[in-house]
Amino acid sequence: MSDRLEVLKTSKLFIDGKFPRSESGRSMIVHDRAGKVLAHASRASRKDLREAVEAARRAQPGWAGATAYNRGQVLYRLAEMVEGKAAELAALIDACESGAPGTAAEGGAGEVRACVDRLVAYAGWADKYSQVLGCNNPVAGPYYNFTVPEPTGVVCVLAPASPSLLGLVALAAPALCAGNAVVAVASGASPLPAAVFAEGVATCDLPGGVLNILTTQQDELTSHAASHRDIDAIHAAGLDAKNTELVRAGVAENLKRVVVRSLDRADWFDPRLCENPWWIEGFVEMKTMWHPASV
């Protein structure tokens, strides 16, 4: 009797609430920091990006139409799911993420805790941000004048390499809590935590298509995401000079909203920096209404 063969998980994409392989049939080999093969991960192509955007576009009106309270509940549920996968996620982060110290508060376990806390924070903001960002404007006439934030639509997240999971969650959660649908492209350097996170998303009551997660070499999707006319905004971090240029060139024609963040690894863990409504503000459109005062 020979030794039992290890069964390794091949991670797949997460599009429209399902786990398809890349339509291109490609995969990439993921190594741990010691150079050992950890797993194969699906490598998304531009057509997978297109499918994900279609799914997000279909799902977005329903998600935006859910009550703010309900969106908060669902995001809280997502936090619960991540908590349940904490050990698996922490081990993957410690095994392969560059810059993770291994055991300290900012290692894998710490990063997963921060993810959970970040999701809980934005679950809380779901029914509060519009009171903070919206306003009742003084006007000289028999009218009320309100400004209220509405979701921008489909947001593409380009996650940083480190912290790969916290970066993805921190970029996606503010957009999600405001009723946007998200297509998140995980870092090519560390795709496995995002792929396992997707398993949590699939079981958290988030409607299919609201959050889609692609693993690939980000470079090959950057310009397609930027020029895609059905993506309304980009929320990115950790872009190198070349990819920053690709984003600039792509959005020049369609003028979508772009927020590119540049944070040190430690900054991502700081709730005072990362958990506030100004992270949401980039992904809402302000609508101002005039309403007769005495009708």
Partner 1 sequence: MFESPSVDAVMAAERAASFTKRSIKSDAKRAGLELALSMLDLTTLEGKDSPEKVRALCRKAITPDASDPGLPSCAAVCVYPALVKTARKALAGSGVKVASVATGFPSGQFPLEIRLEDVRRAVGDGADEIDMVINRGAFLAGRYREVADEISLVKEACDHAHLKVILETGELETLDNVRRASDLAIRAMNEAGGAHGHFIKTSTGKVQPAATMSVTLVMLEAIRDWYLETGQVVGMKPAGGIRTAKQSLHYLVMVKETLGGLMPSANGAGGIDGSGEHCPWLTADFFRFGASTLANDVLRQLAWLKRGVYMASHDFSEA
Residues of the shown chain interacting with partner 1 in the complex, contacts defined by CB under 8 A: 50, 53, 57, 224, 227-230, 253
Cβ distance to partner 1 smaller for residue 4 or 229:
229
Q: Cβ 50 to partner 1, closest distance in Å? A: 6
Task: Please give, one letter per residue, the 3-state secondary structure of 164-199.
Answer: HHHHHHHHHHHHHHCCCEEEEECCCCCCHHHHHHHH
Alpha helices by DSSP H, the chain: 46-65, 68-84, 86-96, 108-125, 129-133, 164-177, 192-202, 219-227, 241-254, 265-268, 271-274, 278-281
How many Cβ atoms from other residues are within 10 Å of residue 169's Cβ? 31
Cβ distance to partner 1 smaller for residue 21 or 57:
57
Cβ distance to partner 1 smaller for residue 16 or 199:
16
Cβ distance to partner 1 smaller for residue 205 or 230:
230
**Nearest-angstrom CA–CA distance, 217 and 229:** 21
Q: Cβ 131 to partner 1, closest distance in Å? A: 30
Q: Cβ 229 to partner 1, closest distance in Å? A: 4
**Nearest-angstrom CA–CA distance, 57 and 180:** 9
Using a 10 angstrom Cβ sphere, with 0-12 exposed, 13-18 middle and 19 or more buried, the burial of residue 129 is buried
Q: Cβ 175 to partner 1, closest distance in Å? A: 18
Cβ distance to partner 1 smaller for residue 192 or 234:
234
Region of 83 on the Ramachandran plot (φ > 0 left; ψ -120 to 50 alpha; else beta): alpha
Q: Max alpha carbon distance in the chain (Å)? A: 88
Q: Cβ 236 to partner 1, closest distance in Å? A: 18
Q: Which residue has the tokens 């430690």?
A: 266
Cβ distance to partner 1 smaller for residue 23 or 83:
23
Q: Cβ 49 to partner 1, closest distance in Å? A: 8
